[in-house]
Structure 1
Amino acid sequence: MIEYDEVHQRAAIQLGSDYLLRAVGAANRHLGGDLTRGAVFIGVIQANIRLLAPSPEEDGIETACPKPVSGGALAAMLGIPAETVRRKVKTLIEDGYLVRVNGGLTVPAEVLARPEISRLVRANYLNLRRLFRQLRRVGVDMGRESGALGEALEN
């Protein structure tokens, strides 16, 4: 395990914070200016795919069956009141971003294919690549190359 000095830690925190602010800004711009609504939407996407197992045949993520998430689990994940999550979920369902299914909430594939959501995903992908490049540039170890996807999904 590599131990980092204070300079590396500060650089990683600064770059991570920059990434977070860019991601929040993109979600805010693409989802109507309500940060909490954006966080709930992204939380549902994350929960839907986080529980999927990696596909050993394709060395990727299995996407055939998203796993629903409950409002209570979202509230706990985001650290916000359940009533706030309930209100945001209600508006996201009314606007067609989420559906309620047996077991919780999911984001339908049609929603993920919408141009505004595709732009949000693309912006976040580019933002994440920028973070990785910057972390490498300041000497923060990104982990081993083989098996990185599996390790990332475990953490």
Structure 2
Amino acid sequence: MMQLWKPLAVLALAGVAMPAFAADCATEIEANDQMQFSKSSIEVPASCKQFKLTLKHTGKLPRNAMGHNWVLTTPADYGPVARDGMGASLETNFLKVDDARVVAHTKVIGGGESDTVSFDVAKLTAPEYNFFCSFPGHAMMMKGSLKLVK
């Protein structure tokens, strides 16, 4: 770390323009066979145009037994969307088809699989959102918050 810092400091002191570090407009989150996400919160920089999230299932069980997805809604819509998902099917990722309350979601995946979703950051008009897994019975344990940050 120190070895990288010294050349950058010398360049800065010499007045050499350095590129600005880009906002991190992507993240990865893992889910496992114990119904846990690896993160309970995610911050999305407001400077991002698109945000990309990759969900990785680190478990071994198939999607029909212990599948997971990542669903983003407002806090007010979290409960109703999760309840509606319990009546949906694996083929619809345990979500109502074309549910306008869902900001973004991945597919339901099984052990060893991954899926990626990108969404327009301009859609994030509230200060905070909830993310969760809509597989029946998972939403109470597998949930977190997503915040838009300056």
Normalised TM-score (structure 2): 0.26
Normalised TM-score (structure 1): 0.25
* Between structures 1 and 2, the one with greater strand share: 2
* Between structures 1 and 2, the one with greater helix share: 1
Higher relative contact order (CA 8 A, sep 6+): 2
Q: Which has the larger radius of gyration?
A: 2
